[in-house]
Amino acid sequence: MAGPVVVERRFNGPPESAQGGYVCGLFADAARAWLGPEPVVVTLHEPPPLGVAMRAQASGARVHFWDRERLVASAARGRGAIAAPEFVAPSALAVAERAYVTVERHPFASCFVCGPGRGDGLGLAPGELSPGVTGCRWTPDASLAARPGEPVPVEFAWAALDCPGGWTVDLAAAPMVLNRFCAEVLEVPVVGAEYVVVGRRDAYDGHALKTTTALYRGDGVLSAKASATWVRLRPVDS
């Protein structure tokens, strides 16, 4: 039986909740104790808290994660193949990265993955390559593992696959959050190696966004891919 899932405060998305891709990676890893090694899809029902032990509970073909009496997330076996976006050479990404949103316009500027206000995050800057397609480079740093060349924990691959999908629309104008995420990690990233992350918008109706993302090595070998659903952020009652 898996132990509780706890997200350290460093790994936030919005200021007071966990970064969606990262915590989905943790939930998926914990759920495999019941679901097996197949790809896992995670649905987020509530903002995942930081620094709180969330207990896992199996129920039929699903694993639920609870913060006391509050259902935070559910995991199940993924279904269907994920068609990865095409590779983009690292040299073609500099212009897109420079066009990435500024800290003043970013809805979650302290996001661990894509926040321009974070000096200790992943530092992703997924700018627009073409309408509905984003891309950026990523080099995992030594804070994610013990030494250069060592694989990082798999949840960091899930994290890197998250935000570039969201930025296939203008999140600065209409903030959205991750609702459902399924990642397949074929090769765990290693510290010091250069990677490319590409995001593709598959469908968007103004409320829900469906995306596919891919993580490639710098030489074009596919390392991981993911499908996601995002939803418009609910307004806070005044």
pLDDT exceeds 80 at position 146: no
Structure tokens at 74: 């559910």
- Note the pLDDT of residue 115: 98
Q: Convert the pLDDT of each residue in 9-66 to its tens digit.
A: 999 999 999 999 999 999 999 999 999 999 999 999 999 999 999 999 999 999 999 9
Phi, psi of 208 (to 5 degrees): -115, 140
Q: What percent of the chain has pLDDT over 70?
A: 97
Give the ranges where 62-211 is alpha helix by DSSP (H).
Answer: 94-98, 154-160, 163-166
Closest of 45, 64, 52, 51 to residue 2, by C-alpha: 64
pLDDT exceeds 50 at position 238: no
- Note the pLDDT of residue 79: 87
Question: Going from the N-terminus, what domains does the chain have, and what CATH number goes with each?
Answer: 9-77 (3.10.129.10), 90-232 (3.10.129.10)
Q: Are strands 208-217 and 133-138 parallel, antiparallel or unpaired?
A: unpaired
Are 178 and 162 within 8 A, CB to CB? yes
Are 87 and 129 within 8 A, CB to CB? no
Q: Residue with structure tokens 């090694």? A: 37
Q: Convert the pLDDT of each residue in 99-130 to its tens digit.
A: 999 999 999 999 999 999 999 999 999 999 99
Are 27 and 65 within 8 A, CB to CB? yes
> Mind spelling out the 3-state secondary structure of 144-186?
HCCCCCCECCHHHHHHHCCHHHHCCCCCCCCCEEEEEEEEEEC
Structure tokens at 110: 């302290």
pTM for the model: 0.96
Element of type H or E holding 168? none
Are 100 and 86 within 8 A, CB to CB? no
Mean pLDDT of 224-237: 87
Structure tokens at 179: 């609702």
CA angle 233, 93, 131 (to 5 degrees): 50
Distance CA(119)–CA(115), nearest Å, equals 9
Structure tokens at 103: 């800290």
Phi, psi of 130 (to 5 degrees): -160, 165
Q: Chain-wide mean pLDDT for the chain? A: 96
Distance CA(21)–CA(108), nearest Å, equals 14
